[in-house]
Structure 1
Amino acid sequence: MDFLQILVLALVQGLTEFLPVSSSAHLILVPILTGWEDQGLAFDVAVHVGTLAAVVLYFRNEIGRMTVSWGASVIGKGFDQDAKLAWAVLFGTIPVGLAGLFFKDFIELHLRAPEVLATSTLVFALLLWWADAKGRETRDEYSLRWIDILFIGLAQALALIPGTSRSGATMTAALFLGLSRKASARFSFLLSIPVIVLAGGLKTLDYLKEATIDDMQPLMLGALLSGVSAYFCIHYFLKLLEKMGMLPFVIYRIVLAIFLFVMFADV
C-alpha cells in the first residue's frame, strides 16, 4: 500500500465510523472507484483500532467515572447514574454480539449483495429523517430504561446489514425514544467501544503473532490517521449537531444510495 491509499482509507474510516452514513458502504466504494486492490483484513482492523482509541480518548473522563461507578455497583456499594450508563452500554451490546455469533455466516453469504447495500443505505436514511423530525428530544442518555436499552441494542444488531450504519441505527432508535440529538450521539459513541473491541480484538491478537516490523508500519500509520480524524469528527459532530440536525446526513445518504443503485445497475 502506498501513502495515498493509506491516507484515503484511514480518513474514510475515521470520518464515517461515527457519522450516520455507513462506513461499510464507503469502504466498499473506495477500491471500486480508485481501482486499488483490497486493503486486506489487517488494515481494516488497524483503522478500527484507531477509531477505538479516538472514542476512548474523547470520552476518557466519562469512561473513568463509569468504570469506577460500575465497579462499586458490582460489589454493592451504590448504583448512581454513571453505573447505570455503564450497565446500559454493556447490556446494549448483547444483541449485536448474539446476532454476530448466530448470523455472521448468513450475512456474509446473502446480505453483501450490492442491492442490499444500496437499499439499506436508502431505507435507514428515511428512518433517520423520520426520527429526527418527530423525536421529542426531551431526554438524555442517563434517563434510559432497560426497555429503551434493548430497543437501541436491537437497532445496533440490525447494523450488521451492510449499508445500515451502526451509529445511524443507534442514533435513529435513540431519537425515536425521545433522546436529544446530542444524547443520542453520545450514547451511540459509547456503545461503539465494546462493539469495536469484540469485532477487532481477537483478529488483532492473531495478526500480531505473525506480523513483522515491515508489515506493521502501514498499519500503524493507518491507525494513527484514522484515530486523529475520528477524534476531530466526534468533537465537531457533537458541537454542530444541535444546529444542523440530521438532515444533511439524510440527504447525503439518499444521494449515496442513488449513486449505488446506478453504479451497480451497470455491473
Structure 2
Amino acid sequence: MAITRTVTVAAGRFAPGHLGELAAVVPFELVDAVLEETRSIQRRLRDLPSRVGVYFLLAMCLFPEVGYRLVWDKLAAGLDGVSVAGPTPKALRDLRGRLGAAPVRALFEVLAGPLARPTTPGVRFGPFRTVSFDGCSSQKVADSERNRVWLGRTSHHGYPTMELMTLVETGTRALIGAVFGPPAGGETGYASRLLHLLRPDMLVLWDKGFDGNSFLAAVNATGAQVLGRLRANRRTPVLTRLGARTCR
C-alpha cells in the first residue's frame, strides 16, 4: 500500500523554506507577518530570503546533532527537479546572523500556549487545567567572551551554562511560555517572570520546594491555584481538612 500526500512548496528562491507537514502549524503567511512586524524582511531578494532563514532555524531545532549544511540538505531533500541554492556553511551562518532573534521570538510568542480542549483526557484536575513550571540549569552555550560576561562561568562545567524556565501544560507538554538567563537568577526568580501567563482556571504543579511566601502570594494574585511540595523544615498551619468529596 502506498499513501501519498501533496505538500505545497513555495516557488523560486523560497522553495527550501518549508517543513513539510509542519507548514500547517507554521504557514508561510504567519512567517511573513512576523518578519514584517519585526522589520526583518530582506531588503533585496537573495538566494537565501528571510523566510527561508526562519524555516532553516526551525529545522536546526529538529536536527540539532548535524551541521548547517546537512540541515539545509534536509530542507531541500524533497525538492527534486527544483533549482535551489547550494549555500556554504558560512552563508548559512550569515543568514542566521542577518535574521537575528526578534522574528523567532515573535513566532514563539504567537504559537506558544495551551493546546488541550476541555474534553482532552489527562489535562484537568476537576475544573482546573494543570500546568507546571519546569526548569533546567545545565544548558550549555558557546564559550565566547560575550557569553562569559553575560552568564559567568561555573566551576563544574567547561562551558558557560544558562538557566531555562518554562511553563508547560502538563497533559500535552505544550509550552505556554519560556524565559532564560544567568543561573544566578534562580528557579523561583525566573518562574516569577512567567506569572502573567497564569489564568484563574489553572492549577500550578510545583515540585521545587518553596523558599518563601512571596512566590505563593504572587501566584495567588493571578487567581490560579497551587499544588506544591513543602520543605521538610517548614511547618505550615492547618486551616481546614478537606474530605474526599471536596478533593474530588
TM-score (norm. length: structure 2): 0.24
Q: Per chain length, whose mean CA-contact separation is higher, i.e. which structure has more relative contact order (CA < 8 Å, sep 6+)?
A: 1
Q: Which has the higher strand share?
A: 2
TM-score (norm. length: structure 1): 0.23
